Amino acid sequence: MAVTGVFMSAVADTHAQDHHHGPAKGISRWLLTTNHKDIGSMYLIFSFTMFLLGGAMAMVIRAELFQPGLQIVQPEFFNQMTTMHGLIMVFGAVMPAFVGLANWMLPLMIGAPDMALPRMNNWSFWLLPCAFLILVSTLFMEGGAPNFGWTFYAPLSTTYGPPSTTFFIFAVHIMGVSSIMGAINVIATILNMRAPGMTLMKMPLFVWTWLITAFLLIAVMPVLAGVVTMMLMDINFGTSFFDASGGGDPVLFQHIFWFFGHPEVYIMILPAFGAVSHIIPAFSRKPLFGYASMVYAVGAIALLSFVVWAHHMFTVGIPIVGQLFFMYATMLIAVPTGVKVFNWVATMFRGSLTFEAPMLFSVAFVILFTIGGFSGLMLAIAPADFQYHDTYFVVAHFHYVLVPGAIFGIFASAYFWLPKWTGHMYDETLAKTHFWLSFVGMNLAFFPMHFLGLAGMPRRIPDYALQFADFNMVSSIGAFMFGATQLLFLLIVVKCVKGGKEAPAKPWDGAEGLEWTVPSPAPYHTFATPPEVK
Amino acid sequence: MAEQQANNAGAPKGNARVVGWCMAGVVGMFAFGFAMIPLYDVFCEITGINGKTGGRYESTEVAEADVTRTVKVQFLASNGPGMTWKFRPVVRSVDVHPGEQTTVNFYAENPTSEPMVGQAVPSLAPSEGTLYFHKTECFCFNQQPLEAGESTEMPLIFIVDKDLPAHITKLTLSYTLYDQGKQVSATQNSRKETTTNDNG
């Protein structure tokens, strides 16, 4: 009920805010802001900070795996690094980056003056640094940080986890609250604040994909909160949800976790689908091919994501009927995904293409995400999965869908909308350098992992057999290259914020949408008068 | 300003409705996460897919053994974390005919200088055979107290159902023995009691 009270007063407040036109001065601007652009920027900055932190942990992992044998860190610390890298990248880097983009762009795209619930918006952002402060502080606790992998399977996390597991659970609870509030805000904004004339089927695709993502968040984040609550009770209050000695079942943990976990991977990719569906038409100078089919495809992917979770756990001993069901249901997802890839390619077909940085990242997104999709199809084949399960093939697969999928989608969006955010053009030469170094580094890092996995190298182990040495060294070199390149992105953004060529209201001549009708940089308050959409 | 108010006229009320529905969804899905536990238990009881064998079996008919078939039943015994008892099957495997009642024993010894209580939890592989493996008597139905240094042989009486699918020729029954403290009932909470009955 407290929640309702807060948002009601927040709504009442939006009218009062229209009277002063600039941001407040000093630190209180950022602590107390209810402006969607400020909050969006904070989300993006937070996400990039977490990206660097999670990336630094990946560098530790790759440095250890540079050569066989134990070189730099102890296995206990290595396990903490793999766990924290996964948690920070999923919950700290990718998800907040998309919420940041949503905050910045949704009101501009639908012609709204702000998000529907601005104060809740502020709250959901400021919960995040608190959650991650708790999570990262576990590294300095006795017994170390969580070391059971980002999937925190019981009983590894309950019976055998370090004492800091309880802090981890608390951090996940706070992140969950933050995500749920963010999702509610997005839904309320999209359903209630659209400019007159903007019907659902006229909404830009980024708005559509975010609406569906928000529904996914509301459906699965509470399940995540539930499963960590059960862990908390098993650890501290003597219950036996996942403990066989008390009548519980560890396999049940995996069912509940992956019921959350599979929709979660679509939460991390659907907004990128939306952003790329803006960028490819802009640089092809053609309207998007098959708008309606794109919307239905995203909806179909979201619905199917609820009935495929057990493909993560074929090896726990699922009856043959279950394996067949989850195998075919998983393969079915390739159909709407294929529709989307077809539409992006068809949009480019016979377009007047130019390859500025956003387009480069988007084209790479389409190609590399498709590779990741195909390795996903291989993993979906239940009998073959027994060979791939828990090998580097899985690591290669999900990095191919998340790095050139989610991360490249975020970079593409950032370059596409940076002129709107800052009022300056970014340095195109540096941005293209950023793209090519990222592209080469990423492929060098992750492509050899396919071969390593097929040859049998298990994931999450700090050492490996000698025959894997060469591919691991190549992979590490690629990872260092990719990691170092991201500092270049920081430089490009800082340079762009500080100055550069003045950006016109619409810097990309093929771009469409309401966000390009406001000046660059976008004023602190936009669409106080709603635009008319025909 | 006028237009803006027109634009947002119904918004606060609309927002309250959207937030209300979303919160209902959140609460519902949180409850669903917990509802998965009983759902899972019921589902597994019907299908037997998690290898948990059923409770005490009471035969309604005098079964005649199907001597044309022989099924090998193997036994495994292991200790849960922290359990110090010696625990093993007296025979590692027996060949039985479906429908025939067989008795085997498990040996348990408490080598410590304290009285202890153990609870065995069974699991059957392949899980497909779970529904066809009946126990008429099992030490796992009850907790087992042992005085310091005491040892015992614990009986298991079982029948393999004649309807066991033809492709299953071997069943493996494994028991894990867990430390339940020092006393059988005084320290028992209700959940553990239920568990004991359920585990069969």
What mean pLDDT, rounded, does chain B reach?
81
Number of H-type helices and E-type strands within chain B: 3, 9
Distance from CA of B62 to the nearest CA of A (A): 31
Q: Report the SS3 class of residue B116.
A: strand
Q: Are residues B80 and B141 in the same domain?
A: yes
**Contact A187/B18, CB-based, under 8 Å?**
yes
pLDDT number for residue B194: 37
Annotation says A277 is catalytic: yes
B6 has pLDDT over 60: no
Q: Are residues B105 and B191 in the same domain?
A: yes
CATH architecture of A269-520: Up-down Bundle (1.20)
Q: Are residues B190 and B96 in the same domain?
A: yes
pLDDT number for residue B192: 37
Among candidate residues A266, A344, A388, A400, the one labeled active-site is: A266
Q: Are residues B26 and B121 in the same domain?
A: no
Closest alpha carbon within chain B to A257? B33
List, edge to edge, every strand of the sheet that includes B133-138: B86-89, B101-109, B151-160, B133-138
Among candidate residues A178, A375, A422, A438, the one labeled active-site is: A178
Identify the CATH number of the domain defined by range A32-221: 1.20.210.10
* A221 has a chain B CB within 8 A of its CB: yes
Using a CB-CB cut-off of 8 Å, the residues of chain B touching A180 are 22, 26
Looking up residue B124, the CATH number of its domain turns out to be 2.60.370.10
- For residue B167, with 0-12 CB atoms within 10 Å meaning exposed, 13-18 middle and 19 or more buried, which class applies? exposed
Domain with CATH 1.20.210.10 in chain A: 32-221, 269-520
Q: Are residues B12 and B81 in the same domain?
A: no
Closest alpha carbon within chain A to B196? A247
**Residue A506: pLDDT band with limits 50, 70, 90:** very high
**Contact A222/B26, CB-based, under 8 Å?**
yes
Are A138 and A172 contacting, i.e. CB atoms less than 8 angstroms apart?
A: no
Could you report the per-residue pLDDT of B37-83, keeping only the tens digit for each? 899 888 887 777 767 777 777 766 666 788 888 999 999 999 988 88
Query: Which secondary-structure segment (H or E) carries B175?
Result: strand B170-179
Q: Determine, yes or no, domain membership for B66.
A: no
Using a CB-CB cut-off of 8 Å, the residues of chain A touching B16 are 4, 7-8
Q: Are residues B37 and B102 in the same domain?
A: no
User: Considering CB atoms only, which of B8, B26, B199 is closest to A247?
Assistant: B199
**Contact A530/B7, CB-based, under 8 Å?**
yes
Q: How far apart are CA A495 and CA A346, in angstroms?
A: 35
**Contact A252/B18, CB-based, under 8 Å?**
no
Closest listed residue to residue A98, CA positions, set A372, A399, A409, A400: A409
Tokens of A114: 């702000």
Q: Determine, yes or no, domain membership for B58.
A: no
Using a CB-CB cut-off of 8 Å, the residues of chain A touching B176 are 244-245
Q: Determine, yes or no, domain membership for B83.
A: yes
Across the A/B interface, how many CB contacts are shorter than 8 Å?
A: 137
Between B185 and B194, name the one with better pLDDT.
B185
A90 has pLDDT over 90: yes
Please give the share of chain B, as a percent, with pLDDT higher than 70: 82
Q: Determine, yes or no, domain membership for B111.
A: yes
Annotation says A312 is catalytic: yes
Annotation says A234 is catalytic: no
Are B80 and B61 contacting, i.e. CB atoms less than 8 angstroms apart?
A: no
Q: Are residues B32 and B78 in the same domain?
A: no
User: Considering CB atoms only, which of B3, B25, B194 is closest to A529?
Assistant: B3
Whole domain around residue B142: which residue ranges?
71-199
Q: Are residues B190 and B93 in the same domain?
A: yes
Name which of A245, A253, A256 to mutate to probe chain B: the one with the most chain B Cβ atoms within 10 A of its Cβ: A245
Q: Are residues B88 and B147 in the same domain?
A: yes
User: Considering CB atoms only, which of B22, B50, B189 is closest to A187?
Assistant: B22
Tell me the mean pLDDT in the region A258-279: 96
Residues in chain A: 534
Using a CB-CB cut-off of 8 Å, the residues of chain A touching B7 are 195-196, 529-530
Q: Which of A9-23, A435-449, A519-533 is the least confident region?
A: A9-23
Q: Determine, yes or no, domain membership for B61.
A: no
A351 has pLDDT over 50: yes
Q: How many CB atoms lie within 10 A of CB A290?
A: 18
Q: How far apart are CA B1 and CA A128, in angstroms?
A: 34
Q: Determine, yes or no, domain membership for B62.
A: no
B123 has pLDDT over 90: no
**Contact B34/A230, CB-based, under 8 Å?**
yes
Instruction: Give chain B's end-to-end CA distance (angstroms, integer).
Output: 72
Q: Are residues B99 and B195 in the same domain?
A: yes
Annotation says A202 is catalytic: no
**Residue B184: pLDDT band with limits 50, 70, 90:** low
Of B47, B62, B83, the position where a domain reaches its end is: B47
pLDDT number for residue B60: 63
Q: Are residues B19 and B77 in the same domain?
A: no
Own/partner pairs, B81-90, CB within 8 angstroms, 24+ separation: B81/A159, B82/B179, B83/B118, B83/B177, B83/B178, B83/B179, B84/B110, B84/B111, B84/B112, B84/B179, B85/B109, B85/B110, B85/B111, B85/B116, B85/B118, B85/B146, B85/B177, B86/B111, B86/B151, B87/B118, B87/B120, B87/B175, B87/B177, B90/B153
Distance from CA of B10 to the nearest CA of A (A): 8
**Residue B196: pLDDT band with limits 50, 70, 90:** very low
Question: What is the residue whose two structure tokens read 């069974």?
Answer: B122
Q: Are residues B115 and B16 in the same domain?
A: no
Tell me the mean pLDDT in the region A499-528: 94
**Contact A226/B3, CB-based, under 8 Å?**
no
Count of domains forming chain B: 2
A513 has pLDDT over 90: yes
